[in-house]
Amino acid sequence: MDACANLTGHGCGIILASIINGTMTGAVYALVALGLTLIYGVLHIINFAHGTLLMLAMYGVFFLNQIVGVDPYMAMPVILVAAFLFGYGLQRYVIGKTSHGRDEITLLVTLGVSIVIENLALFFFTANERNIRVPYELAGIDLGVTYLLVTQMAAFGAALLITATLWMFMSASDTGRAIRAVAKERQGARLVGINVEHIFALSFGIGTACVGAAAALLAPRFAISPRIGYTFVLIAFTVVVLGGMGSFVGALVGGFIIGIAESVGGLFLGESLGQITISLIFILILLLRPSGLFGEKLR
Amino acid sequence: MRAGQRTAVALGALAAMLAMPLVVTSGFWMDFLILTLFVGVLGQGWNILGGYGGQLSFGHAVFFGTGAYVQAILQTQYGWNPWLAITPAVLAGVLVGAFIGYLSFRYGLRGSYFALITLAFAEAFRVLATSIEITEGGQGIYLRLNRDPDQAITMLQFASGVGYYYMILALTVVALLVAWWIEHSRFGAQLMAVRENEDAAEALGIDAFAVKMRAICISAALTASAGVFYVQKFLLMDPFIAFGPGKSVEALVAPIIGGMGTIFGPLLGSIVLHGVGELTKALTAAAGIDHPGLDLVIYGILLVLMLAFLPSGLMGLLRRRARPARSAEHA
Amino acid sequence: MLEVRGITKRFGGLTAVNGAGLTVPEGRIVSLIGPNGAGKTTLFATIAGFLKPDGGSVMFKGSDITALAPHAICRRGLVRTFQVVQPFANLTVRENIAVGAHARLASRRQALDRAAEVAERVGMMRQIDQPAADLTVAGRKRLELARALATGPSLLLLDEVMAGLNATEVEDIVRVVRGIRESGVTILLIEHVMQAVMSLSDHTYVLNNGAIIADGPPRAMAEDPRVIEAYLGHGASERLAAGGKRA
């Protein structure tokens, strides 16, 4: 028995292990949420289809692996580009064309899109869970308190790397500056000759590329089925709302908090009830601080 | 139409619906009617809050599931008669509605934020139902089958579809009457005023919070009663059916397609949805494909198309055609 | 009837209204004027319960209504209109006005009948079955007035109901407002159309930088040097006076 056990009923080692595991997953959550927050920040669209797009990208990784034999991590560049193009087209030719007026109507449109994609996936891929087998599946290092998988570490490292790259792109490149200009002042950007529709679609594409990258990182560790999109979109919403809609730092911090909260919640409430932690955080944040930790004033 | 004419048409339609089982004898079409009316009631529940009140919920399953679970649990765990269970089941739905409404409206959540919080509540309830004992966890609750024809009425279980048809028809009539009342009462006028512009409504003496609270309670009651029906019809309930996204989506798609904030919108939407759905199933079956999902793909496409091109729904389309006649009447 | 004392309202570091007070006696038309950004609408919103003041009190018919919600204040007989009109766009004119009428009437039929009466009074009979979204600016201003009137108020707060109207339309509304007063309703109005202020009001308050700088009969106010300075800037009254002598 140690100090932690006296307080909580769980040993320090187990709690530490659970925090480490949560941090690893949290990095990927952050990456998924980054895409969502980018789309919100620029287009002011809450994209309900975000999780479904992740699911679709994971199937992409799966089939590349099954049919062509590509390692999931090697598939990332292909999936990333494909996801970008898909997202670009989706915004430019579907969501952008149909959404006008109230923001909750746009939310409904993206819900419609997610229903279509999810059920097309169900139709073509069936409800069966798919798993990608990789030779290094069980490889890892023993930290003493926990055994850290290579796939976990790779997801953690890559998620942070991609986040950093996106950050640099947004702050240093011309396109990044144009995107930020549109996010800040739509009409003004239009007046100085920025093609706003193009930037919208571009942002949506980059946001979708984020889930494309995340898909490659998640695919070796999560069973793939059409319904996982729903699970992930709820997590992504929670991260984004917690961090503050439209905030990059918020998505990053929020991702880690939610990853750890989920893992620790599972430890204390059990595997099944532990999932409620995320919904409860979501509800509390919406009620008490809808602008999130790093968000600017809403409405 | 004058009021007298309208009443006559309504009574005629009701008589036709009552006589329906005489004409429709195939089990398939009976089930089709039952499910269509069921989604009509579910959609009307959503429509009270979302259509008339402008508070779009993405988690209406939370009320459906609560009603359904209470109806199931009182019978299986406590041996209640199904008739006695109905009131507590509907009240439980109202209670959950009041709880969610109080928190959301007190803290001033509007628009997308209200949609998101209802979604979160539905998900929290789903996890809860999967995890606690009284709901029998993820495997769900199964009610004891009782096909004794003498006890059909007392046990609310029917061997053929006809009994369930009349049960859901009764609920449909209640749902339509509630919507009719909304359109012809002070409460309804105030609810629509809040939907259109909350500040202006407040300035005109409307307690927007109280109005929204009433709306969410009525909405939850109707939706919970749809849950009660579902349990009696299918004799089972599990966390995914109860609180998963399926029922929340059905509840909002039907009124959006039929026309939000109209009396017949949800029912019309449900008829179109199920018609198209069954057609898709029949066509895919004829083509020798037996994968699920295509009908839902069409729901999704219809939803997007309606929002894009016909945000006032099919009723809006009908009304637009009727309008020249109406203004001529006044001229 | 209305006693506003020392109202202060801050937004962050900005003080929009600073210790403003005014009195509206029963049966009068009192106006509140001042340059743009003086805090008139903020003061109105605070009186009507839409904003909670940081200091001061609002007494209406002898009781303190400072902490009440807008709907509760409306039920006591004090109703405001909005400078930026807020019609219920998807409802018809009749339905819009009936929402106001429901403040006193529970019956739908009575409320709709009352709506027609009020529409008649403000001259909107011809548009009564049109959706509010189809109205012109002038129509929307009238609707705003009609809805407020339908609640059966004893005090109406009118926020620029004449802005954006042409001369004929202004004359129409002036006649309507006068009629409302004659029916026993007290009125406090914010207005930029000076012609209307002059012809309608019995007493005028001038608000500048959140504080009342002068009050008196409207004509006196128009010539008051403090008021002229508030509108035209420091030294303006002297320049005007000098110009006047030369002329």
ipTM of the shown complex? 0.90
Contacts of B206 in chain C (CB under 8 A): 71, 99, 102-103
Contact A122 B296 (CB under 8 A): yes
Instruction: Say yes or no to pLDDT of B331 above 80.
Output: no
Residues B202, B205: Cα–Cα separation, whole Å: 5
Alpha-carbon distance values, B138 to A273, C83, C188 (Å)? 11, 56, 64
Q: Does A103 touch chain B (CB under 8 A)?
A: yes
Q: Does B16 touch chain A (CB under 8 A)?
A: no
Strand extents, DSSP E, chain B = 141-142, 236-237
Contacts of C50 in chain B (CB under 8 A): 199, 202-203
Contact B56 A287 (CB under 8 A): no
Residues B64, B74: Cα–Cα separation, whole Å: 16
What is the 8-class DSSP label of residue B32? H
Contact B116 A273 (CB under 8 A): no
Q: Does B268 touch chain A (CB under 8 A)?
A: no
Chain B residue with the nearest C-alpha to that of C133: B196
Instruction: Say yes or no to pLDDT of B218 above 80.
Output: yes
Q: Are B252 and B56 in contact (CB under 8 A)?
A: yes
Please tell me the distance in Å from B267's CA to the nearest CA on chain C.
22
Q: Are B203 and C79 in contact (CB under 8 A)?
A: yes
* Residue B177 pLDDT level (bands cut at 50, 70, 90): very high
* Residue B78 CA, distance from chain mean position: 27
Query: Which pairing describes strands C29-33 and C14-24: parallel, antiparallel, or unpaired?
Result: unpaired
Q: Are C149 and C156 in contact (CB under 8 A)?
A: yes
Count A/B contacts: CB-CB distance under 8 Å. Answer: 131
Q: Could you tell me how many residues make up chain C?
A: 247
Per-residue confidence (pLDDT) for residue C243, from 0 to 100:
59
Residues B65, B241: Cα–Cα separation, whole Å: 8
Query: Which one of 1.10.3470, 3.90.1530, 3.40.50, 1.10.1060 gives the CATH number of domain A21-126+142-288?
Result: 1.10.3470
Higher pLDDT, C81 or B1: C81
pLDDT tens column, A73-112: 999 999 999 999 999 999 999 998 886 667 788 899 999 9
Q: Residue ranges per domain, chain B?
A: 27-252
Per-residue confidence (pLDDT) for residue A60, from 0 to 100:
96
Residues C28, C201: Cα–Cα separation, whole Å: 8
Per-residue confidence (pLDDT) for residue A290, from 0 to 100:
84
Instruction: Say yes or no to pLDDT of B212 above 80.
Output: yes
- 3-state SS, residue C86: coil
Residues A185, A203: Cα–Cα separation, whole Å: 15
Tokens of B25: 């004898």
pLDDT tens column, A14-49: 889 899 999 999 999 999 999 999 999 898 889 999
* Residue B328 pLDDT level (bands cut at 50, 70, 90): very low
Residues B188, C123: Cα–Cα separation, whole Å: 27
Q: Does A231 touch chain B (CB under 8 A)?
A: no
Q: Residue ranges per domain, chain A?
A: 21-126+142-288
Q: Does A237 touch chain B (CB under 8 A)?
A: yes
Per-residue confidence (pLDDT) for residue A36, from 0 to 100:
94
Higher pLDDT, B134 or C112: C112
| Strand-pair partners of C190 | C32, C159
Q: Does A52 touch chain B (CB under 8 A)?
A: no
For chain C, residues with pLDDT lower than 50 are 244-247
Q: Residue ranges per domain, chain C?
A: 2-86+154-246
* Residue A188 pLDDT level (bands cut at 50, 70, 90): confident
Instruction: Say yes or no to pLDDT of A170 above 70.
Output: yes
> Which of B194, B204, B207, B329 to mutate against chain C (most C CBs within 10 Å)?
B204
Instruction: Say yes or no to pLDDT of A292 above 90.
Output: no
Please tell me the distance in Å from A99's CA to the nearest CA on chain B.
6
Which of residues 139 through 198 in chain B touch A, CB cutoff 8 A? none
Angle at B323 between CA B321 and CA B327, to 5 degrees: 150
Query: Which one of 1.10.287.3610, 3.40.50.1360, 3.40.50.300, 3.30.70.1400 gives the CATH number of domain C2-86+154-246?
Result: 3.40.50.300
Residues B144, B136: Cα–Cα separation, whole Å: 15
- 3-state SS, residue B29: helix
Comparing CB atoms, the residue among C70, C99, C105 nearest residue B193 is C99
Higher pLDDT, B249 or A297: B249
What's the mean pLDDT in B125-152? 89
Instruction: Say yes or no to pLDDT of B211 above 90.
Output: yes
Contact B189 C95 (CB under 8 A): yes
What's the mean pLDDT in B153-167? 90
Per-residue confidence (pLDDT) for residue A101, from 0 to 100:
63
Alpha-carbon distance values, B16 to A36, B23, C188 (Å)? 50, 10, 59
Contact B119 A272 (CB under 8 A): no
φ and ψ at residue C64, rounded to 5 degrees: -80, 120
Count CA atoms closer than 13 A to C61's CA, side-chain side. Answer: 11
Contacts of B198 in chain A (CB under 8 A): none
What's the mean pLDDT in B13-40? 92
Tokens of A7: 């307080």
Sign of CA dihedral B66, B67, B69, B73: positive
Per-residue confidence (pLDDT) for residue B329, from 0 to 100:
36
pLDDT tens column, A133-146: 888 888 888 887 78
Query: Which pairing describes strands C203-208 and C29-33: parallel, antiparallel, or unpaired?
Result: parallel
Residues C39, C17: Cα–Cα separation, whole Å: 6
Per-residue confidence (pLDDT) for residue B318, from 0 to 100:
85
Chain C residue with the nearest C-alpha to that of B194: C88
Query: What percent of chain A is predicted at pLDDT more than 90?
Result: 54
* Residue A190 pLDDT level (bands cut at 50, 70, 90): confident
Q: Does A112 touch chain B (CB under 8 A)?
A: yes
Comparing CB atoms, the residue among A99, A127, A283 nearest residue B120 is A283
